[in-house]
């Protein structure tokens, strides 16, 4: 009988431990719970309830196990406090020391209620699909204002963005989304896809032209364009001050702004802007191939290919849009110029003129 009682006691202990471990497991955060379902939304609401008043944040940090915000004290705007949501509980406030990126909490913050946390699962899913890498999974996402230089200083003063980090078995990718959860872009520059990417393809260049029209304007004026093997850059007049240029680039990741500092553009004598509708971006691919054949360098690589509208003093033809192709192959170099209709203007190889229009 005594032996039976001991066996029953041992069994009871085992059942208690098993149930205890199961309960503890249920209390622990599910891995990646904030990237899917209503996990992020519930965590955000719990922190709202904890603070009790509308507030702004300088950062939101979310990973597999933790939802954390750096919140501006609604009663003392110069102070930033940290709140954490883990396994259904909110901790905080814990004082935060401001870094150089967030010296001015008011300018570096963003209203917490203007961030759509219901969109987190959607943009995480879209980013993973766009990344399309082996074993890809969301590692963490952070929300804050981007770095910017302004008249009043520099730091986290730019546009508010989600920064999405995706880790894969062999490569990593980053992406960004706006406060409403609209995916802004995916950075594939460190992937095998980027290594294989070919910009000088007629279909890809046509896609780029259509994307620029949709993003910047159907009738946008262009100051100049410069094409390379995997990227092209272009300048357009700033809408508020045409003497300043807004700089952009296009590559495997799509269109993005470049240059933190806006400088007055140098307007060369005879230079004119041209309409995006007056040129065919696909000509960059065509003229590159024609130029290689013209100078007898079929395996040449592209040094650069520029597109400008100009009226040089020595050009009797007057103002016209000119495509300038520069090539390099070993110790040999060459350049060929075409007008917008594809007619050759001039051709040079190793410094010697091999063709010139009359």
Reported as a single tens digit per residue, the pLDDT across 21-55 is 444 444 445 666 899 999 999 999 999 999 999 99
> What pLDDT is recorded for position 39?
94
Q: Quick check: 16 pLDDT over 90?
A: no
Residue 306: phi and psi, rounded to 5, are: -110, 155
337 vs 266, residue with greater confidence = 337
pLDDT band at 15 (very low <50, low <70, confident <90, very high): very low
Q: Quick check: 258 pLDDT over 90?
A: no
14-28, 134-148, 153-167: segment of lowest average pLDDT: 14-28
Q: Distance between CA atoms of 94 and 69, rounded to whole angstroms?
A: 11
Q: Give mean pLDDT, residues 302-318.
A: 81
Whole-number mean pLDDT of the chain? 86
Percent over 90 (pLDDT), the chain: 67
Tens-place pLDDT, residues 268-295: 777 899 999 999 999 999 999 999 999 9
**Cα torsion at 201, 207, 209, 215 (round to 10°)?**
-150
4-8, 61-65, 184-188, 265-269: segment of lowest average pLDDT: 4-8
Q: Give mean pLDDT, residues 179-194.
A: 91
Residue 301: phi and psi, rounded to 5, are: -100, 160
Residue 124, judged by CB atoms within 10 A of its CB (0-12, 13-18, 19+), counts as buried
Q: Distance between CA atoms of 9 and 316, rounded to whole angstroms?
A: 105
Q: Which residues contact 109 (CB under 8 A, 6 or more apart)?
A: 56, 57, 58, 72, 145
174-183, 197-206, 208-217, 250-259: segment of lowest average pLDDT: 250-259
pLDDT band at 153 (very low <50, low <70, confident <90, very high): low
Partners of residue 251 on adjacent β-strands: 254
Q: Which residues contact 128 (CB under 8 A, 6 or more apart)?
A: 136, 137, 138, 166
Q: Which residues contact 38 (CB under 8 A, 6 or more apart)?
A: 118
Q: Distance between CA atoms of 120 and 163, rounded to whole angstroms?
A: 12
> What pLDDT is recorded for position 17?
43
Tens-place pLDDT, residues 67-82: 999 999 999 888 899 9
151 vs 329, residue with greater confidence = 329
Q: Distance between CA atoms of 207 and 331, rounded to whole angstroms?
A: 34
Q: Cα angle vertex 309, ends 303, 313, to 5°? A: 100
Segment holding 323, helix H or strand E? strand 320-329
Q: Quick check: 2 pLDDT over 50?
A: no
Residue 229: phi and psi, rounded to 5, are: -65, -40
pLDDT band at 171 (very low <50, low <70, confident <90, very high): very high
Asked whether 82 and 93 are in contact (CB, 8 A), the reply is yes
Tens-place pLDDT, residues 132-145: 999 999 999 999 98
């Amino acid at each position: 009988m005594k032996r039976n009682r001991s066996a029953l006691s041992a069994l009871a202990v085992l059942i208690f431990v098993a149930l205890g471990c199961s309960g503890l497991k249920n209390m622990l955060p599910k891995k990646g719970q904030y990237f899917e379902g209503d996990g992020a939304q519930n965590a955000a609401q719990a922190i709202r309830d904890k603070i009790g008043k509308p507030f702004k944040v300088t950062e939101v940090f979310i990973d597999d196990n933790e939802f954390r915000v750096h919140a501006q004290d609604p009663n003392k705007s110069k102070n930033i406090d940290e709140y954490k949501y883990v396994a259904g509980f909110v901790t905080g406030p814990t004082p935060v020391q401001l870094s150089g990126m967030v010296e001015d909490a008011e300018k570096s913050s963003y209203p917490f209620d203007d961030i759509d946390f219901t969109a987190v699962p959607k943009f995480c899913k879209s980013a993973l699909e766009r990344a399309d890498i082996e074993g890809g999974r969301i590692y963490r996402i952070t929300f804050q204002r981007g770095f910017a230089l302004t008249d009043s200083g520099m730091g986290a003063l730019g546009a508010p963005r989600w920064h999405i980090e995706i880790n894969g078995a062999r490569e990593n990718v980053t992406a960004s989304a706006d406060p409403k959860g609209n995916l802004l872009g995916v950075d594939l520059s460190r992937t095998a896809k980027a290594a294989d990417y070919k910009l000088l393809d007629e279909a890809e260049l046509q896609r780029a032209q259509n994307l620029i029209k949709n993003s910047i304007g159907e009738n946008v004026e262009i100051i100049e364009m410069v094409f390379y093997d995997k990227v092209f850059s272009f300048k357009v007049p700033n809408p508020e001050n045409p003497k300043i240029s807004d700089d952009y680039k296009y590559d495997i990741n799509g269109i993005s702004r470049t240059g933190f500092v806006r400088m007055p553009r140098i307007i060369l004598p005879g230079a004119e802007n041209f309409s995006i509708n007056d040129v065919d971006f696909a000509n960059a691919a065509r003229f590159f191939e024609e130029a290689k054949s013209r100078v007898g360098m079929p395996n040449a690589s592209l040094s650069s290919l520029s597109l400008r509208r100009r009226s040089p003093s020595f050009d009797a033809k007057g103002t016209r849009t000119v495509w300038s192709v520069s090539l390099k192959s070993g110790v040999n170099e060459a350049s060929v110029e075409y007008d917008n209709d594809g007619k050759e203007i001039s051709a040079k190889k190793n410094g010697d003129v091999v063709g010139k229009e009359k």
